[in-house]
Structure 1
Amino acid sequence: MSTHHQPLSDDRLAEMDIEVLLRFGLSAPGTVRSVLFGDGAVAAAITADRLGVLPRAVVFLGEVVRSGGTGFAAELPEPLPGPAAAVTRGWLAAAATVVRDPAGDQLVARWLDAVAAVLALRVTNRESNS
């Protein structure tokens, strides 16, 4: 018996609790981490896209996490520009509750890279359909 993942709409994905996914997905490998890097990254990209964030801003935030750590990035007044700042601080604060070492920071940065990649695909697709 095979199970098929039913695609979720953008609206359903945008309703995902990314902070919960980060807390549980970063703390232990397995199914929740797979969801974090799959649907969770897409949900975060949809949220960022709707708030007008450019992919390069998310890539830059990943570099900040790699360099200064998740906790440092969570304390930034504007980790992503404009209205996305508060949402992103929530994501980073949630991640910081479980990240205890540089390996955890690297995992958060890789997740941000995944978000940026999905966001870039969304932007490119929208531009090519205009």
Structure 2
Amino acid sequence: MPPATRTDDELLAATDVAVLLRYGLTHDAFRTALFGDGAIAAAVTLDRLGVVPRSLSFVAKIVRAGGLRYAVELPEPLPSREASELLRDWLETAAQVAEGPEAEGRVARWLDTVAEIAGLRRAARARARGDDTP
């Protein structure tokens, strides 16, 4: 019997986003992986938890305005508890290695990238259903 195949979504959902954040924020060589596979993996994971893209964009604005540490301390940065805990873990990892406004700006841009990818996924599903609203 052939081995069970996993979809791209399943493979990406298994990606350790925290590790990609840790290395992608501190080593230029890993930045492409963070903004590529890392952002896609985060979008897939959060999309599966029902997070809407505008929630992620809002957190990105909070990071820009109040800083990463402030965003980590938010009681519920996303509408659901499970998604909030996951995002808080990622933000905490980022806060441990991101030093200064440039690094915090990079985290905010990454969150915007995740939001954009999640929005594209929702739009593609809506088109597949024949629906105009994601």
- Relative to the length of structure 2, the TM-score reads 0.88
Question: Are residue 118 (structure 1) and residue 87 (structure 2) matched?
Answer: no
| Identical amino acids, percent of aligned pairs | 49
Residue 99 of structure 1: CA displacement?
1.1
Matched residues in 2 for 1:64 and 1:18: separation?
A: 20
Secondary structure in 2 matching 1:38: helix
Residue 75 of structure 1: CA displacement?
1.2
Secondary structure in 2 matching 1:76: coil
1:44 equivalent among 24, 28, 42: 42
Question: Are residue 77 (structure 1) and residue 92 (structure 2) matched?
Answer: no
**Could you say which residue in structure 2 is the equivalent of 1:59?**
57
Residue 72 of structure 1: CA displacement?
1.0
Residue 28 of structure 1: CA displacement?
1.9
Deviating beyond 4 angstroms after TM superposition, the runs of 4 or more aligned structure 1 residues are: none
Structure 1, unmatched stretches of 5+, are 1-7
**Matched length:** 122
Matched residues in 1 for 2:16 and 2:66: separation?
A: 25
Matched residues in 2 for 1:80 and 1:72: separation?
A: 14
Residue 17 of structure 1: CA displacement?
0.5
**Could you say which residue in structure 2 is the equivalent of 1:4?**
none
Question: Are residue 127 (structure 1) and residue 126 (structure 2) matched?
Answer: yes
What is the alpha-carbon root mean square deviation over aligned residues? Answer: 0.9
Matched residues in 2 for 1:96 and 1:58: separation?
A: 17
Larger radius of gyration, structure 1 or 2?
Answer: 2
